[in-house]
Structures are given as structure tokens and as C-alpha cells.
Amino acid sequence: MRTPALGCLCLLLSPLCAQGGDGKVKPANSNPPPATRAPAVQYDSKGWPILPEDPTPAAGATPGGETSQSGRSGASGPTNVAAPAAAPASAGGGRSAPGSGLQLDSPLLEVFQATQTPAAFKQLGSVSIWWRMTVYGEQGEVIGRREVTHTADSAFAERDRLEYADGRVYGRIGASVFAERSGMPFPNLVDSAEAELMLFGMHWRLPWCFGDANAYVVLARDEVVREEKVLTRIVIERRPPVEFDRIGPELDEAPRDHFELVHEPGKGTPVEFLHRFARNRQPRRVLLEDWREHRGVAVPFRRVYVDEALRQTTSLEILRIEPVRTTERDFRLR
């Protein structure tokens, strides 16, 4: 009794043997097929079988299906099909994921080429940022100033901790937010804690957070005029949370966080940023200045809030940035 495995093995080993009708292996020239009947399998000059869907074997083919660097890959298919163009490589060495902002047709491509990729930003890991916030009056005079220590995990979208000189400590990990003062929980400060954590977290992750297509969507890319200069504007909104219990579209669409990035055409470094959070619906215009490189990533060390007359109202300055080691407990209520 013959086995299928033996038949396949004889077929692939060499063109010099064939299987007779009685199941025994015979030399190929002992029982030649009729001249009018084409053989079931054809072989190339090296003795390897030519598959029907691959009539032109690549040069340098090896028995394992691999090819040399000048040949094609081992996957079967027509050789005249052009390979797809490779996506731009991220800082981590891999190809860009869909919606990461690194595709050739992405409106955010120029921005990430100037400031580095979201993957490079995530590699910064946990850092401590010392912010100095200054509030100005109508005549440009300084009304008040305070400093905030911000601990952030750059690899996550919502892992932040804020420490103030008056003993307040705010923290968030995902949707969980806490507020304490002098080591005691303060539940009545949770609302203000959530707003400030969102603000400082957004400023630190700007503009790399917008590369997450699951959280943000680019609505438009157009032009705006600033001081007689034509600039490129990218309009972005936060995606609504997924509601598994809802069927069909939203009847009354809830307001969403709205953002705008403005940069010079061909340069990509953002010079202006606008944010309008859904909770208060008040647009805030920010000028991004003093870009410096921190561990290979370009960061704006000065952000100036201006009013409609371009008068500065508030400024956020980064005094220094240092890497730190954190765990999940640093962003939870202890």
C-alpha cells in the first residue's frame, strides 16, 4: 500500500524518478510517457519543479523557497507584480502603523518630520517637567507667577501627576483622577484637577498625541493668513468614546475637543496652536516658541497665550526636563 507522503516526496526529490501504476518507483526513462501527453510537472534547468502559478522562477532560487538578495521573496505569485512602496520607517525601526501620521498622504507628515515621530517621543519614557506659568495684565505687566512640577509618562496618553507649592497633588491614569492636599484626599478638587491634568498633559504631548488615529481625527488641511504670511492649518478633533450600547448614529452630537495646528508650508514646525475643550467651549490661541531639542525630539520650551489683539495673557515656560523612574502608583491616589 503506497502513502501520499511517499508520492509527494518522489515528485519533489528529482525529475529522474517517476511512479508506476503498480505503486513502485521506477526510473524515469524505463516507462516514458507518450509523446502526445504533456507531463504533469515541468522542471527547470536545475531540476526544480516549476509551479503552474509561477512559470518564471527567480534567479538564485534555493530549495527552501528563499531567494538571494537579487531574487524575489519565497511567496508564490506572478513575478511581474511590483512590490508596494515601503512606508516611512519610525524611529524604532519599524514601518509606520495605519493612522500614525507618517503616511505619505498624511496632513501631519510635515509636522512629524520637523519634530520627530510619535514613536520617538514615546521613547522619552517618564520625565519630570518644571513649568513656570506667568499671568499678564492688559498693559503686559506681570500679575502672578507660579511653578508646577509635572511628572508624565510619555509612552501613555493619560499618565500625569502635578505637584504645587501649596501642597496640592493631582494625578490621573486613564479615566481615573485624584486630588489631594498635604497628603489628604480632596474630592472637591477633582474637577479642577481633571481640567489642569488635561491641559498640562496636552501641552507636554503636543503635537505627537495627534498621531493616534484612535483618539483624534484630522478634519481639514487648509491655509490661513497671519501677519500677511500664508500658513498651513491642520484642523483636528478628538474622537468620541466608543459606546457599545448605542445603535446607529448620534441624534444630538455632543461637543468634542477641537484643535488647530499652524505651521509654515514646507517647514512643519508648529508656530501656533488653538485648543477648544468641550467642557467650556472657549477657544484659546497659543504661540509656540523657543523650540529646542531634548534627546533627539524637538520641544517648544515657551508657549504664549494671546488674545484677539495678540496681547499675551499667559505664558508657560519649561525650566528643565529630567528623566525619572515611575510606576502606576505614582499616578494613583496613595
Question: pLDDT per residue over 164-175, tens digit each?
Answer: 999 999 999 999
How far apart are alpha carbons 5 and 32 in whole angstroms?
Answer: 23
Burial letters 304-327, b for 16+ CB under 10 A, else e:
bbbeeeeeebbbbbbeebeeeebe
Mean of pLDDT values over 202-224: 94
Residue 222 pLDDT > 60: yes
Confidence label for 149 from pLDDT (cuts 50, 70 and 90): very high
User: Which three cell numbers mark 183?
Assistant: 497628603
Contact 163, 330 (CB under 8 A): no
Residue-averaged pLDDT of the chain? 78
Grouping H, G, I as helix, E, B as strand and the rest as coil, residue 218 is strand
pLDDT in tens, 21-30: 454 444 445 4
How far apart are alpha carbons 300 and 315 in whole angstroms?
Answer: 12
Q: Give the gyration radius of the chain's Cα atoms.
A: 31
Grouping H, G, I as helix, E, B as strand and the rest as coil, residue 211 is helix
DSSP state of 59: T
Q: How many Å separate Cα 217 from the centre of its chain?
A: 13
Q: What is the per-residue pLDDT for 181? A: 93
Grouping H, G, I as helix, E, B as strand and the rest as coil, residue 217 is strand
For residue 224, which phi and psi values (nearest 5 degrees)?
Answer: -135, 160
- Give the CA angle between residues 221, 223, 228 to the nearest 5°: 160
More confident residue, 133 or 40: 133
pTM to 2 decimal places: 0.68
Q: What is the per-residue pLDDT for 199? A: 96
Q: Is the dihedral of CA 112, 115, 120, 122 positive or negative?
A: negative
Q: What percent of the chain has pLDDT over 90?
A: 56
Q: Identify the burial level of 288 via C-beta atoms within 10 angstroms of its C-beta, where 0-12 means exposed, 13-18 middle and 19 or more buried.
A: buried
Mean of pLDDT values over 193-206: 96
User: Between the ranges 49-53, 100-104, 165-169, where is the mean pLDDT highest?
Assistant: 165-169
- How many Å from the N-terminal Cα to the C-terminal Cα in the chain? 74
Confidence label for 227 from pLDDT (cuts 50, 70 and 90): confident
Mean of pLDDT values over 221-249: 83
User: Which three cell numbers mark 138?
Assistant: 492688559
Lowest mean pLDDT, pick from 21-25, 98-102, 249-253:
21-25
Residue ranges of alpha helices (H) inside the chain are: 4-13, 109-115, 118-122, 190-205
Q: What is the per-residue pLDDT for 95? A: 42
For residue 286, which phi and psi values (nearest 5 degrees)?
Answer: -125, 135
At which residue does the C-alpha cell 515657551 appear? 302
3-state helix, strand, coil in the chain (%, to 5): 15, 35, 50
